[in-house]
Amino acid sequence: MIIKESTIEELDKISAQLVLSQFLQSSLWAKVCKSGGEEIKILKVVEGEKILAIGLFIRKKLIGKKYYWYCPRGPVLLNDKFPISNFQKYFLYDKDCIFVRIEPTQKIDLRGLKSVKEIQPQHTLVIDLSPKVRGEIPLASVEVGRDGNEILSAMHQKTRYNIRLAEKKDLVVCELNNGEGLNHFWQLSKIMSKRQKINIHSFKHYQKLLKLFGEHAHLLIAFHQNQPIASSLLVGWGDTMTYLHGASDDDKKEMMAPYLVQWQGILLAKKLGFKFYDFYGVAPEVSDGQEFNNFKYDSNHPWAGVSRFKFGFGGRRVNFIGTYDLILNGFWYNLYQYLRRLNLKVRKILK
């Protein structure tokens, strides 16, 4: 069993063929990271001629010369019996690397790994779009593909009503993958950020995504009387269309535009031949939680509101195993965690 560097082309070939493909393990995300000055590695584990695992690793700076490697929604495991701790052998030779952070989408042996707060959402909601396809997505079975009416029938009646209401409001949803669309998206994002008191990325970040994702990006804008009132940024990779970012104008909430934008995104994904539509993050399930459309969730979670909105569209909850650290240097790792906690406390006090 050997760990060695691979190519982005080999990663793309493998990741795009997996069920519920992850754009974070592709050349799309590699380009975003490199454009921001981050160093990346494509590593694979081989045994003879067989590839057991492959992943995009991103170098993240810490204290001084210290750093760690982060593998978002990866590595991709082609053999579920592969011990993930084997990656430790590769990174141990670098004294400045403190740990390796991973987020496999498949079940793995967690021995030797430390569970940490999720980076990418651990829980998501997926709608099956595929015609005549049956298979397995991580930790959840897939239903036989359905047409548009069947997808609608799985929605909460209030969600269906809001979609139909929006259609009667003379809203127009356009795909604008250009500067005009980006400006509309940015203005709506600023409105949403101010209203909900949440942080958003910079304009340059969204501009970078739209440019580097290229034909894989789909920016949908809903207009009412030529005024943009809702938007969503989607990215397609492999068999999955992912809802990455969204924004809307709350002053026009009676138009129900966000419902129509999501519905048009789902129809677009189906039209383009994607098998899954991934809402990319929902509140975790709790047995005694609030229930909506047969989904139970933590009503106190920061994502409770947006999760309720997403649950209305139906689909299936998918739970990944979470985020884990493979510790290489215990002393520096503990110091890093202490300083991180201290920094959070200081920031809370200064607020």
Q: List, for residues 329-347, the tens digit of each pLDDT value.
A: 999 999 999 998 998 888 8
Would the CATH topology of 2-120+321-350 be identical to that of 123-319?
A: yes
Domain 2-120+321-350 belongs to what topology?
Aminopeptidase (3.40.630)
Give tens-digit pLDDT for 302-327: 999 999 999 999 999 999 999 999 99
pLDDT at 141 over 80: no
pTM for this entry: 0.92
Query: For residue 195, which of 207, 204, 187 has the smallest C-alpha distance?
Result: 187
- Whether the per-residue pLDDT at 89 is higher than 90: the answer is no
* Residue 133 clears pLDDT 50, i.e. is over it: no
Helix H, strand E, coil C: the string for 59-94 is EEECCCCCEEEEECCCCEECCCCCCHHHHHHHHCCC
Of 217, 225, 161, 214, which is closest to residue 185 (Cα–Cα)?
217
Q: Mean pLDDT lowest for which of 77-86, 185-194, 248-257?
A: 77-86
Find all residues with CB under 8 Å of 169, minimum gap 6, and list them. Answer: 224, 255, 256
pLDDT of 142 over the 50 cut: no
CATH architecture of 123-319: 3-Layer(aba) Sandwich (3.40)
Which pLDDT band, with edges at 50, 70 and 90, does 86 fall under?
Answer: confident
Q: Is the pLDDT of residue 137 over 80?
A: no
Q: Specify the range with the lowest mean pLDDT, choosing from 102-111, 135-144, 186-195, 289-298.
A: 135-144
- Burial class for 26, CB neighbours closer than 10 Å (0-12, 13-18, 19+): buried
Give the per-residue pLDDT at 334: 95
**Sequence spans of domains, the chain:** 2-120+321-350, 123-319
Question: Closest Cα partner for 248 from 293, 305, 299?
Answer: 305
Sorting pLDDT into bands at 50, 70 and 90, what band is 140? very low
Q: Residue 351: what pLDDT?
A: 66
Q: What is residue 14's three-state secondary structure?
A: helix
Compute the mean pLDDT over every residue in the chain, rounded to the nearest whole number.
90
